[in-house]
Structure 1
Amino acid sequence: MPWNWELPDWPQFSYHLDQIALKERQFLLEVDTACAFLKNIGDQEYSRFVVEILSLEGLESARIEGEFLDRESLQSSIKQHFSLRASPNQETNKESRMAKLLCDVYQSFDQPLTQEMLFRWHFELFNNQSNIDCGRYRTHIEPMQIVSHRYGSSKVFFEAPSSVKVPNEMAAFINWFNSTNALLSILGKAAIAHVYFESIHPFKDGNGRIGRVLVEKVLSQGIGHPVLIAVSKVLEKQKKEYYTAIERCNRTLEIDHWIAFFADVILQAQSQSMNLLCFLIEKSKLLTALSGRLNPRQEKVLLRMFAEGLSGFQGGLSADNYIVIAKTSRATATRDLADLVHKRALVKTGELRHTRYWLNLPIRINPLL
């Protein structure tokens, strides 16, 4: 049975965009809402939001491929790229490479896609790795296969076009990418761009990560500014469904199921982005209201809680957590926590050894994402 790129109509994918018309309108409405929020925050909060979103996308996109990056190091690299104050001695090589890719995509969102741009992204992602052909399409003569090894046997999930075909395939892809803005919905083009690129699989490694930043580029070009959502965060949480959905495209050009799945992913990512934006705004409000009213221990613990992001401490902050973070006694921790509750910085739940403390933020922006 032929692969999708071997079918006579390749790369003419078959789809019905009317199935995602309501999702498209929802996406655009949420874009307008986010823009309204962003107009009412200061430069510092906006910069924090950009760093948080870019680092979240980088962390989760790498995690999908089985690579784990250090969050603080990645954020430090992104901050340095934007000339923001960063923690010293945090940057490492792999986080620095990912940061360069993310920032490049962010800053060049409105530029047409080119082969040179793709090569630059690939080079930024794999610079100094001797086992990778950095900054160029694959050239190996053996088949480019995605293989699963389980229980002593192997299964070929997909085989991409041979390396010799890649330059022509990518030239056609780039032409399609740059000439279809007016012909497709934003969500539809993002979904198609991803499956189209992954079907060609033009690089020896890094196709998933580059394919996902192409989604960000499509969305950003569609709305006219950087989209600032972390699609990879949702894809990592739904990795099994993600792989299953894209595998269904391997031998067909009919991709309605894929477009529906991917549109939902984008909407979920957009919702999480709004939650994060609200979280950062409420964080700024709370810290401003408490300015000058906290002792150094309380301030250290609150900042540590905020650093955990939307999900917070798993199971809430305990008195033992406070003692470790603040490096203080149990009696002092008890007084400090009671004072933070009195000042409405924290909310207390439970009793005795089950007592836990939570940031006092609106419930709608504090889900476990």
Structure 2
Amino acid sequence: MNGGHDLADIGRYRTHADPMQIVSGNLHTTKVHFEAPPSLAVRQAMREFIAWFNTSGPSSHSPMSALARSGIAHLWFESIHLFEDGNGRLGRAIAEKALAQGLDAPAITALAEMIQRHRKDYYTQLQRASVPNRIDEWLDWFFDIALAVQQRTLERVHFLIAKTKLLDRLRGRINVRQEKALLRMFAEGPDGFRGGLSAANYRTLTGAATATATRDLAELVLLGALRKDGEFKHTRYRLRT
């Protein structure tokens, strides 16, 4: 957050006297989703949270399941909302740490990405769970997200393996323009270019002339790097992984 001129407290607990509210809408139609504890209560709230976190892990006398601990840790941390900004990012990191501790190994997860995909539902669930003491619905939602994250992570790992195999196979057989276009397509991840890559996209990415782009793309199809869908102006190219 260094360089954020709108923040009074960077790298430390918030200290302002105003209520810490999670809001949406404009100035005249503001909707308050949640109000966190006042700044004066943050330090004690964090002591309690840290004590619970450090005594609920797999090495404790009565360990909690990894998923439940991860979901509760995230909700609890977000409810305290100890910083002026960045609580969501750190809260997701804490959730991922809890999952990794439960596995007793580093965990490769895409929790932040999946929550971003379901951002509206995420804030709704946080709001519902942060007011009462009942968090069953939140945990049900979090468990579903965690399972979706696991599947997404597997897809990404398989995608990266396929990328490596394809680039190894094509080494020395494609030109600089073709390599640049493929790397740009791979950068989009497993979902690829939305709508597929067009010849116009290829020309923009590589600076190739029309005839050159047509020839380059045709070669990539013959090499098995791309598959071609559609005809004429509706032609699109997608990675063959």
TM-score by length of 1: 0.60
Counterpart of 2:188, as a letter, is: E
Matches within 5 A, 1:125-274: 126-130=1-5, 131-150=7-26, 152-182=28-58, 183-274=63-154
What does the per-residue CA deviation read over 1:170-223, in whole Å, with 9 as the maximum and x for residues that have no partner?
A: 111000001001431111111100111112222222222221111111111111
State the alpha-carbon separation in 2 of the partners of residues 332 and 156 from structure 1.
56
Counterpart of 2:20, as a letter, is: M
State the alpha-carbon separation in 1 of the partners of residues 174 and 239 from structure 2.
15
User: Are 1:284 and 2:160 matched, yes or no?
Assistant: no
User: Are 1:355 and 2:231 matched, yes or no?
Assistant: no
User: Are 1:339 and 2:197 matched, yes or no?
Assistant: no
* CA distance 1:358–1:153, shift in 2 (3 Å): closer
What does the per-residue CA deviation read over 1:349-369, in whole Å, with 9 as the maximum and x for residues that have no partner?
A: 1111111111111xxxxxxxx
SS in 2 for 1:249: helix
* CA distance 1:352–1:181, shift in 2 (3 Å): same
* CA distance 1:298–1:143, shift in 2 (3 Å): closer
* Displacement after TM superposition at 1:258 (Å): 0.3
Counterpart of 1:195, as a letter, is: L
- Point out where structure 1 has 5 or more consecutive residues left out of the alignment: 1-125, 362-369
State the alpha-carbon separation in 2 of the partners of residues 206 and 195 from structure 1.
15
State the alpha-carbon separation in 2 of the partners of residues 157 and 298 from structure 1.
49
* Displacement after TM superposition at 1:235 (Å): 1.1
* CA distance 1:262–1:335, shift in 2 (3 Å): same
Q: Does the 8 Å contact 1:198/1:211 carry over to 2?
A: yes
What does the per-residue CA deviation read over 1:214-269, in whole Å, with 9 as the maximum and x for residues that have no partner?
A: 11111111112221212111111111111111111132111110001011111112
Q: Does the 8 Å contact 1:132/1:205 carry over to 2?
A: no
SS in 2 for 1:348: strand
Q: Which moved more, 1:339-348 or 1:299-308?
A: 299-308
TM-score by length of 2: 0.90
SS in 1 for 2:30: strand
State the alpha-carbon separation in 2 of the partners of residues 262 and 205 from structure 1.
22
* CA distance 1:217–1:319, shift in 2 (3 Å): same
Identity in percent: 50
- Point out where structure 2 has 5 or more consecutive residues left out of the alignment: none
Counterpart of 1:232, as a letter, is: A
- C-alpha RMSD of the superposition: 1.8
What does the per-residue CA deviation read over 1:259-302, in whole Å, with 9 as the maximum and x for residues that have no partner?
A: 01011111112211111111111111011111111123222222
What does the per-residue CA deviation read over 1:297-348, in whole Å, with 9 as the maximum and x for residues that have no partner?
A: 2222222222222222221111222223232222222222222211111111
How many residue pairs get matched? 236
